[in-house]
């Protein structure tokens, strides 16, 4: 896992302090970036089919990328929020095995981190709208990312340090359950191989051979450790990476299909729609048109 952290870079998108009301009510939001919240007043709820997480004063929360989540405030909620994009050269993700809503008690240092990053970036809030359907469009996200190019180098480096410190709050054993230590070493190695070789042909037989195991036994062991069969996991991982590329780059559908290991555009479209409910073209249009 340490190697994964070092491979990734995190770009600031937005940071702000806001006071929300019942209008903060959004469903089925699946972002390509991370969200971190520090609650200092009121109450709200983050929830999805897998869990319900009350937003309480004095706690720090994170919604990893590609974690579907609903947001709800009944009356009043005040919070600091931070949105960050994760990039890695090989497509790996720090929280790829932990796509769930995370919660830890906030510390005085956490509050100081938010206040400091707001001092460094005073105009990085969502001024236009709090609606994800508005601010998650590719041109909007790109405009926020490009602002990092105009930040003084000292502020840029300090920002990276603050982001990593806030992320580290969710890497404790109690919070970060699906660590490599909790997964069979053969399966951990297979997961890393899948994530870094999506563009190549990936079969159960090949993965089992790499692990020096019988394919049937390897498949059962993989399911026991991940909850998914190897081929299903490969498809889910390919589609997740495709969603990131569709939402955050100008690559063509053909280029993205090739980069994520789909042999044909028709196969790419079929698997993508089965998993997301949209074709790649529909997903790209929703994310890129304002």
pLDDT of residue 92: 74
> Coil, strand or helix: which one is 176?
coil
pLDDT of residue 187: 85
178 pLDDT more than 70: no
Q: What is the pLDDT of residues 146-165, one digit of tens each?
A: 999 999 999 999 999 999 99
Percentage with pLDDT > 90 across the chain: 63
Mean pLDDT confidence for 286-290? 71
Identify the H or E element spanning 63. strand 59-63
Grade residue 180 by pLDDT with cuts at 50, 70 and 90: very low
Integer angstrom CA distances of residue 194 from 14, 47, 58: 31, 29, 38
| CATH code reported for the domain at 2-168 | 2.60.120.10
Phi-psi region of 91 (alpha: psi -120 to 50; beta: other; left: phi over 0): left
Domain 183-288 has CATH 1.10.10.60: yes
Mean pLDDT confidence for 24-51? 92
pLDDT of residue 177: 56
Q: Give the range among 6-15, 75-84, 236-245, 247-256 with minimum mean pLDDT.
A: 6-15
Nearest-angstrom CA–CA distance, 230 and 247: 26
Mean pLDDT confidence for 232-248? 92
Q: What is the pLDDT of residues 54-89, one digit of tens each?
A: 999 999 999 998 888 999 999 999 999 999 999 876
pLDDT of residue 78: 97
- 56 or 8: whose pLDDT is higher? 56
pLDDT of residue 172: 83
CB atoms within 10 A of CB 108: 7
Supply the pTM of this predicted model.
0.82
132 pLDDT more than 70: yes
Percentage with pLDDT > 70 across the chain: 93
Nearest-angstrom CA–CA distance, 87 and 99: 17
Task: Judge whether 103 and 61 are in contact, CB under 8 Å.
Answer: yes
pLDDT of residue 131: 83
Q: Give the range among 28-42, 168-182, 205-219 with minimum mean pLDDT.
A: 168-182
1 pLDDT more than 80: no
DSSP character at residue 96: T
Mean pLDDT of the chain: 89
pLDDT of residue 3: 55
3-state secondary structure 235-267: HHHHHHHHHHHHHHCCCCHHHHHHHCCCCCHHH
How long is the chain?
290
pLDDT of residue 137: 83
Token match 């196969």: residue?
A: 267
Closest to 98 in 3D by CA, of 178, 186, 203, 205: 178
Q: Give the domain ranges of the chain.
A: 2-168, 183-288
pLDDT of residue 17: 96
Q: What is the pLDDT of residues 15-34, one digit of tens each?
A: 999 999 999 999 989 898 99
186 pLDDT more than 90: no
Nearest-angstrom CA–CA distance, 61 and 57: 11
């Amino acid at each position: 896992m340490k190697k994964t952290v070092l491979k990734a870079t995190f770009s600031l998108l937005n940071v702000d302090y806001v006071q929300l009301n019942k209008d903060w009510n959004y469903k089925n939001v699946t972002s390509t970036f991370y969200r971190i919240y520090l609650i200092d007043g009121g109450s709200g709820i983050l929830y999805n089919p897998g869990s319900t997480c009350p937003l309480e004063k004095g706690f720090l929360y994170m919604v990893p990328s590609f974690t579907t989540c609903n947001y709800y405030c009944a009356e009043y909620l005040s919070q600091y929020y931070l949105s960050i994009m994760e990039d890695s050269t090989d497509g790996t993700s720090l929280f790829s095995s932990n796509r769930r809503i995370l919660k830890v008690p906030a510390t005085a240092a956490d509050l100081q981190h938010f206040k400091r990053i707001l001092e460094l970036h005073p105009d990085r809030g969502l001024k236009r709208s709090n609606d994800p359907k508005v601010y998650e469009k590719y041109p909007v996200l790109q405009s926020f990312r490009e602002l990092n190019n105009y930040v003084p180098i000292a502020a840029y480096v300090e920002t990276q340090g603050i982001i990593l410190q806030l992320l580290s709050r969710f890497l404790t054993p109690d919070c970060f359950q699906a660590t490599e230590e909790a997964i069979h070493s053969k399966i951990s190695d297979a997961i890393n191989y899948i994530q870094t070789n999506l563009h190549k042909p990936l079969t159960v037989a090949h993965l089992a051979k790499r692990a020096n195991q019988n394919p049937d036994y390897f498949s059962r062991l993989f399911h026991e450790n991940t909850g998914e069969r190897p081929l299903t996991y490969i498809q889910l991982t390919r589609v997740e990476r495709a969603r990131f590329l569709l939402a955050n780059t100008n690559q063509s559908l053909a280029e993205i299909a090739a980069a994520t290991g789909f042999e044909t555009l028709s196969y790419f479209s079929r698997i993508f729609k089965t998993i997301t409910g949209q074709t790649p073209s529909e997903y790209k249009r929703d994310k890129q048109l304002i």
